[in-house]
Amino acid sequence: MSILVLCEHDGGTFKKTATELLGKATGLAGALGTTVSALVLGDAPAASLGAYGATKVFQVSGDFSSYDTDVAVAALRAGIDAAAPSAVLAPASFLGKDALPRVVAQLGTGQGTECTDLRVDGGQIVGRRPIYAGKAYCDVRVGKTPAVYTVRANSFAQPAAGGGSAEVVAVPFSAPTPRLTLVERKRPETTVVDLTEADRIVSGGRSVKSKESYDSLIRPLAAALGATPGASRACVDAGYAPHDHQVGQTGKVVNPSLYIACGISGAIQHLAGMRTSKVIVAINTDPGAPIFEHATYGLVSDIFETCPALTARIQALD
Ligand SMILES: Cc1cc2nc3c(=O)[nH]c(=O)nc-3n(C[C@H](O)[C@H](O)[C@H](O)COP(=O)(O)OP(=O)(O)OC[C@H]3O[C@@H](n4cnc5c(N)ncnc54)[C@H](O)[C@@H]3O)c2cc1C
């Protein structure tokens, strides 16, 4: 009855959420007197997860490069059934939001979603998650087994790699016939880390005034910092940034170490997507802008002057 961690990978390279969650699970398992195992879908160097605390890795065989909900649900179910864990930890990723809740329903258990912290209390794992668009936090305790928790990326520090290698348990899997036919697959042109996993984000608001300004103010600052560019909905709706850049209630929920909001007012719907960021820097000409109430550092200044100056200063540090 160990803690099972869903370790996602991209073409065989484990995502940082995999190691982040394994590191946290190791601490929780120590407090619970249990062990950590991992669940991997498809071809990836499963044994290497032993370096991050997994004693066993349940590896479901198959090609999961094209996402299909039915296939993903069946694969997750096969892995969880094989591992028979007392708890499952998974990233609050697409897979964790689309397929995992269906498995939870099949298993008749419960799920704490979008947690930003986990702890052991009374011999059980307890999740902490933001509610009311990040205005408050609540504790979530799942009373059934396995207790399932999804966790936002960047919630925990990356653990140092040890020397161990995990035992790999091959889980035989025969995929159900997909009900959907994949017509075309379009990958985003960008090579930067997806917003939901990014450790640093620079976002632009309506105030950038044009796509050209977004490209000349926000993208270079993001590139200089090794950050992912984001945007407010007003910025996206105006056509200055693509839709997949949108942060907020109807965009992406992010949880970076550093979030720089450039000319963004701080509407509740924007805050809902970025409020849990560890350090928030706001640049705004209006000292009364609501974003300043949530900012760790605030600059009352014009983004057309400050962004290029910041970019130049950061580039000069290299
Ligand atoms: C159902 C619903 C869902 C929504 N979902 C989202 C969502 O997911 N994400 C989201 O972002 N919004 C969302 N919104 C919209 C949200 O309410 C706000 O309208 C939006 O966030 C405002 O974007 P903004 O801050 O870029 O623009 P504004 O509110 O217009 O703010 C622009 C800011 O830029 C400052 N400024 C202007 N010029 C400069 C300059 N030169 N230098 C520095 N600062 C300057 C101004 O002082 C102002 O504070 C949603 C709304 C609804 C109703």
The pLDDT tens digits of the residues spanning 16-47 come to: 999 999 999 999 999 999 999 999 999 999 99
Among the candidates 139, 171, 203, a domain finishes at 171
Q: Is residue 186 part of a domain?
A: no
- Judge if 114 and 239 occupy the same domain: no
Question: Is residue 229 within 8 Å of 245, Cβ to Cβ?
Answer: yes
- Judge if 221 and 114 occupy the same domain: no
Model pTM above 0.85: yes
Of the candidates 51, 5, 61, 53, the one whose C-alpha atom is nearest the C-alpha of residue 30 is: 53
- Judge if 165 and 209 occupy the same domain: no
- The confidence score (pLDDT) of residue 134 equals 86
Protein residue with its CA nearest to atom 40 in ligand 1: 302
Q: Is residue 162 part of a domain?
A: yes
Of the candidates 285, 49, 82, 303, the one whose C-alpha atom is nearest the C-alpha of residue 165 is: 49
249 Cα nearest atom in ligand 1: 8
- Judge if 80 and 131 occupy the same domain: yes
CA distances to 74, 78, 106, 150, 273 from 47, in Å: 23, 19, 29, 23, 35
More reliable by pLDDT, 318 or 131: 131
- pLDDT of 188 over the 90 cut: no
290 Cα nearest atom in ligand 1: 49
- The CA 267 to ligand 1 mean position distance, Å, reads 6
- Judge if 23 and 119 occupy the same domain: yes
- pLDDT-based confidence at residue 267 (cuts at 50, 70, 90): very high
Q: Is residue 220 part of a domain?
A: yes
**Cα-flanking dihedrals φ and ψ of residue 147, to 5°?**
-80, 125
- Judge if 111 and 209 occupy the same domain: no
- The confidence score (pLDDT) of residue 226 equals 95
- Judge if 95 and 206 occupy the same domain: no
Q: Is residue 180 part of a domain?
A: no
- Judge if 148 and 213 occupy the same domain: no
Ligand 1 test: best mutation among 284, 299, 305, 307, most atoms within 8 Å of CB? Answer: 284
Q: By residue range, what is the domain housing residue 288?
A: 195-317
Q: Is residue 185 part of a domain?
A: no
- The confidence score (pLDDT) of residue 187 equals 77
- pLDDT of 1 over the 70 cut: no
- Judge if 69 and 207 occupy the same domain: no
- Judge if 254 and 310 occupy the same domain: yes
- Judge if 157 and 208 occupy the same domain: no
Per-residue pLDDT reduced to its tens digit, 193-248: 889 999 999 999 999 999 999 999 999 999 999 999 999 999 999 999 999 999 99
Q: Is residue 184 part of a domain?
A: no
- Judge if 165 and 223 occupy the same domain: no
- pLDDT of 65 over the 90 cut: no
Q: How many DSSP H helices and E strands does the chain contain?
A: 9, 17
- The confidence score (pLDDT) of residue 282 equals 98
Per-residue pLDDT reduced to its tens digit, 112-150: 999 999 999 999 999 999 999 888 999 999 999 999 999
- The CA 268 to ligand 1 mean position distance, Å, reads 9
Q: Is residue 182 part of a domain?
A: no
Among the candidates 171, 186, 215, a domain finishes at 171
Among the candidates 113, 137, 171, a domain finishes at 171
Query: Residue 281's domain is classified under what CATH number?
Result: 3.40.50.1220
Q: Tally the domains of the chain.
A: 2
Ligand 1-lining residues (CB < 6 angstroms): 205-207, 232-235, 246-251, 263-265, 267, 269-270, 273, 283-286, 289, 302-304
Q: Is residue 249 part of a domain?
A: yes
Average pLDDT along the chain: 95
